[in-house]
A and B are shown apart, each in its own frame.
Chain A
Amino acid sequence: MNAPKTDNRAVELIDAAPIRAAERYRAGVLPYKAMGYWQPDYVAGDTDLLALFRITPQDGVDPEEAAAAVAGESSTATWTVVWTDRLTACDAYRAKAYRVEPVPGTGPGTATPQQYFAWIAYDLGLFEDGSVANLAASIIGNVFGFKPVRALRLEDMRLPAAYVKTFQGPPTGIVVERERLDKFGRPLLGATVKPKLGLSGKNYGRVVYEGLRGGLDFMKDDENINSQSFMHWRDRFLFAIEAVNRAEAATGEVKGHYLNVTAATMEDMYERAEFAKQLGSIIVMIDLVIGYTAIQSMARWARKNDVLLHLHRAGHSTYTRQKTHGVAFRVIAKWMRLAGVDHIHAGTVVGKLEGDPNVTAGVYDVLREPVTPANPQHGLFFDQEWAGLRKVMPVASGGIHAGQMHQLLSYLGEDVVLQFGGGTIGHPMGIEAGATANRVALEAMVLARNEGRDVWNEGPQILAEAARRCTPLRAALETWKDVTFDYASTDTVDFVGTPSAA
């Protein structure tokens, strides 16, 4: 043990009996381990909140002390002993680091400084019911800037069922969304209007109409389409809803357009959402950057008004992408299922944005399953009971096209919105044709999968067969045949499988 040279009380306090309490709380500085934040014998209870951190300690900092420090700084500790702890049931309020393990593939003999996984348990009573803001302020509030750790990442959390039940969750959920849309058995299809900036409301509505008429279920505002000088938000809403209704009349299908209500204040967002509802929009959209509290407010609004709530994860890569520091997206996904959104962008695997297949599979499970068992290969360290909380529809968006349909269906399953922005609007025969190409490719792939064909291997052949009867699909496959985004993922799972005894 290389506890900092602070105090000789550390060792004596390991079995601290009540008589030693006077010693423990004498003014001065103690190692976090000695203050009770490291408890290797602690058995986590069903109502404890559990967190798994990836810690890169500074040189010379003992990993258990680093873990204890993270537990301390994310619960009751400050840098020095305070006697006022004794006015509280401080043993209960203290977070307990109870397990530390080296991360495979780090440390001596590798290119990466030694990292550790640290398991920390928090008493349920530390958290306000139904508040993601309080949860986040507690777990990631201060500790990520703490000097003794070089880097810190929140990898995963187990939210006890008792805590999950204090949240509203998704206003609608996958099941009821499908029933409202009357669309079953296949992924939903969407596209983001492009270009992102500069279209007038009327021109914008034209793109919405063409895409929906061609076969998409949804069109979508981009994350930064709010109310700029080239297009006032009300103008966009009016033209987009005209387009939605025209497309419904032309196809006999329920259609939608995600009207982005992201704005400077809650009052503005409520005003825009109310207007969208009055126009008959079935869905509104917000950006992650509006903050957890605003998201929960909009979730409550959406539940009250029977409007689907789409969340674009704008900004998340600033803290989710790098493996050593930040918050893993699977944690954000868990928080957003609590906060209550119906759609969330969650990765494509094959598109232009970060997304390792295993990490993405873990995130999709977190959003869609009633229970997510621990699955280290997918980055899930804990069993998670969702206690009946509704399911969030993941959205795959960013650099995908019809030629990847077999991969998308294999990786992502059928409860997902596949969004082809460029892959619709950039079609050589126009937007409507681009939409039709995607819809035909999708239906052909689902049909083949259900018939028992091996779509992963036969995918290109299935697409080619469908394209023989569908010129737009033929053109799409020809245009984008060589487009792939094959780069190494940054955020991958560090997991070494234990060979099972045969």
Chain B
Amino acid sequence: MRVSQGTFSFLPDLTDDQVRRQLAFALRRGWAVSVEHTADPHPRNVFWEMWGPPMFDLRDAAGAMQELKACRAAHPDRYVKVNAFDATRGWESVRLSFLVQRPPVEPEFELVREQGEGRRMAYTLRTRRPPEP
């Protein structure tokens, strides 16, 4: 399957040039860029591993690209995304977040149903990771 998380997941995977332009946009707006990675893209897995803290003082997209390339190199089999964080009062949250790497084989999600009374159903989603190569 193709996990469709992040701002641009319905477009073809972004080229590095496209990624750089998005980072430049975020930095122009004063947002702090950060890189995160995970092996489990469960939709409720909100805390991916941080590739260092958000780069609050970075103003140059090239610097962010270096970090992101280093993260990719260290974790070629994981999802990698970049976030842009806006610390403005009233936001204080992520304003842009998109995938910049997918694993060669993406996991599937298994939907587990537990039947209850009155046709009620309790649903659980489980990440089914592909077998190790």
**Complex contact B120–A251 (CB within 8 A):** no
Q: What residues of chain A have their CB less than 8 Å away from a CB belonging to chain B?
A: 175, 178-179, 182-186, 215, 238, 241-242, 245-246, 248-254, 278-280, 370, 388, 391, 436, 439-440, 443-444, 446-447, 450-452, 466, 469
Tell whether B55 is near chain A: CB-to-CB under 8 Å: no
Instruction: Please give 17 more A-B residue pairs, beta carbons under 8 A apart, in addition to A249-B111, A250-B109, A440-B10.
Output: A175-B93, A178-B93, A179-B93, A182-B43, A182-B46, A183-B7, A184-B94, A238-B121, A249-B110, A251-B3, A252-B3, A252-B109, A443-B9, A446-B7, A446-B8, A451-B25, A469-B12
- Please indicate which of the listed interface residues A183, A279, A391, A447 has the most CB atoms of chain B within 10 Å of its own CB: A447
Q: Known: A238-B119, A444-B11, A451-B25. Contact between A253 and B5, CB under 8 A?
A: yes
Interface residues of B in 74-91 (CB under 8 A from A): 83-84, 89-91
Q: Could you show 8 A-B contacts with beta carbons less than 8 Å apart?
A: A175-B90, A179-B93, A184-B97, A248-B125, A253-B43, A254-B43, A391-B90, A450-B25
How many chain B residues touch A (Cβ–Cβ < 8 Å)? 41
Contacts of A251 in B (CB 8 A): 1, 3-4
If the complex has contacts A451-B21, A469-B12, are A252 and B89 also in contact, measured as CB distance less than 8 A?
Answer: no
Per-position 1/0 for B43-69, Cβ under 8 A of A: 110100000000000000000000000
- Chain A residues closer than 8 Å to B42, beta-carbon distance: 252
Q: A175-B93, A185-B98, A451-B25 are in contact. Are A279 and B120 (CB under 8 A)?
A: yes
Contacts of A178 in B (CB 8 A): 93-94
Question: Which B residues touch A388, using CB under 8 A?
Answer: 90
- Beta-carbon contact of B18 and A215 below 8 Å: no
Complex CA distance for A451 and B14, rounded to whole angstroms: 13
B129 within 8 A of partner (CB): no
With A248-B109, A254-B44 as given contacts, are A185 and B7 in contact (CB-CB < 8 Å)? yes
Q: Is B92 an interface residue (CB 8 A)?
A: yes
Whether the pair A447, B111 counts as a contact (CB closer than 8 A) is no
A253 partner, pick from B4, B84, B94, B120, beta carbons under 8 A: B4
Taking a contact as CB atoms under 8 Å apart, the answer to whether A443 and B10 are in contact is yes
Residues of A within 8 A of B43 (CB): 182, 248, 252-254
> A185-B95, A185-B97, A370-B89 are contacts. A245–B123 as well, Cβ < 8 Å?
yes
A443/B8 contact (C-beta < 8 A), A250-B1, A252-B41, A252-B43 known: yes
User: Distance in Å from the Cβ of B124 to the closest Cβ of chain A?
Assistant: 9
Contact between A215 and B4, CB atoms less than 8 A apart: yes
Please measure, in the bound complex, the distance between the C-alpha atom of A279 and the C-alpha atom of B14, giving whole angstroms: 37
> What's the nearest-Cβ distance from chain B to residue A182, in Å?
6
A241 touches B121 (CB 8 A): yes
